[in-house]
Amino acid sequence: MVQKKGRIFSGMRPTGRLHLGNYLGALKSWVELQDDYECIYCVVDVHALTTLESVQDAKAIVPNTNEMVLDWLAAGIDPNKSIIFVQSHVPEVMTLHTLLSMVTPLGWLMRVPTFKEKLRQMKANDETVNYGLVGYPVLQTADIILYRGDTVPVGEDQVPHVELSREIVRRFNKIFGNTFPEPKVKLTESPSIRGLDGKTKMSKTLNNHVELALSDDETRKRIMSAVTDPQRTHRNIPGRPDICNVYSLHKIFNERKVNEIEQGCTSATLGCVDCKMDLAVNVNKHLAPFRERRTALANQPDLVQAILTDGAKRARKIAKSVIAEVRGKMGL
């Protein structure tokens, strides 16, 4: 048996069908990591509740989980290699969250840059922000260490979160004795995928995304709506590929032709319509096997539930032994 390098824990909020940004930013690496690490992949449904806006948001969690896990499986997350489960199906995570909150100073949480950013986006302040959102990094730490995860694959922007998890672990270990490994960051290669509007990151909320599971025709329509170089108002004006999001997608999905596209764009011999059509053809070609697998998986109605039930059973086995140890160390 091949010796694995460690145990990965990673999670995604149940946002429903995934898009190109999710795939290139995380899912693709998740699939690759399965060969070298024991991987535990979690649908973090409790995290989704921290920014809940209505009861409809809560009711969408189960169908969104189903759609998202279909994407995971179709992309190559293999339940025979990895544990795939839903966060709340292992209630021990709530226990560990509470216990870790006893060793986590509030100041550490208030200083997290993404927390401040979230407050700004939500137009919230100390009086209106919910406790769950403040404690988000504590729950995230519980997620990782409950399964003795020692490696967390993240992009550059998530590094401070893992650093905070390490601080919480250090503090716990210092008070109660060495219990958990300090989780390490594994920086993943994730090209920054802007949205079709070209300005921000690809996001379902901003409706500037391309879902992986779209039909060829829907994909083409979405890509044809993409913003390109704003200075290129006429076909005979040379374009600037380096600032064009369509070009950055060509670099990923049409690698073979990037030089030709760059040359055509800068010399104004290639028009944006043709350039986008070409991209759509290549994105569809790239996603065809994924889409075929996804359709076949979706035709097995109980499959996702069966995989998640089995995953929760396997995850809970680890969680129970960890909680027993923690309770013992804390004298409970």
Q: Which residues are part of the catalytic machinery?
A: 118, 201, 204
Q: How far is CA 64 from CA 40, 161, 181, 328, in A?
A: 19, 25, 32, 38
Q: Which residues pair with 43 in a beta bridge?
A: 12, 86
**Which of 42, 272, 280, 312 is in the footprint of ligand SF4 by CB under 6 A?**
272
Of the two residues 139 and 272, which places its CB atom closer to ligand SF4 in the complex? Answer: 272
Q: How far is CA 120 from CA 49, 239, 274, in A?
A: 18, 36, 40
The nearest distance, CB 284 to ligand SF4, in angstroms, is 17
154 counts as binding ligand SF4 under rule CB under 6 A: no
**Which of 228, 254, 282, 284 is in the footprint of ligand SF4 by CB under 6 A?**
228
195 counts as binding ligand SF4 under rule CB under 6 A: no
Token pair belonging to 154? 């993240």
293 membership: H or E segment, kind and range: helix 272-298
Taken in order 251, 30, 159, 66, the sign of the CA dihedral is: positive
**Which of 239, 253, 280, 326 is in the footprint of ligand SF4 by CB under 6 A?**
239
Q: If you write DSSP's letter for every residue of 110-155 in order, what string do you get?
A: HT-HHHHHHHHHTT--TTTS-HHHHTHHHHHHHHHHHTT--EEEE-
19, 61 Cβ separation under 8 angstroms: no
CB under 8 Å to 290, separation ≥6 — which residues?
74, 75, 212
Of the two residues 120 and 199, which places its CB atom closer to ligand SF4 in the complex? Answer: 199
168 counts as binding ligand SF4 under rule CB under 6 A: no
Window of 53-61, 104-112, 155-163, 267-275 that interacts with ligand SF4 by CB under 6 A: 267-275
Window of 125-133, 185-193, 251-259, 270-278 that interacts with ligand SF4 by CB under 6 A: 270-278
What is the total count of residues that contact ligand SF4 (CB under 6 A)? 14
Of the two residues 73 and 270, which places its CB atom closer to ligand SF4 in the complex? Answer: 270
241 counts as binding ligand SF4 under rule CB under 6 A: yes
283 counts as binding ligand SF4 under rule CB under 6 A: no
229 counts as binding ligand SF4 under rule CB under 6 A: yes
* CA gap 20, 296 in Å, rounded: 20
265 counts as binding ligand SF4 under rule CB under 6 A: yes
Return the SS3 of 174: helix
**Which of 33, 44, 213, 275 is in the footprint of ligand SF4 by CB under 6 A?**
275
Footprint of ligand SF4 (CB under 6 A): 228-229, 232, 239, 241, 244, 246-247, 261, 265, 270, 272, 275-276
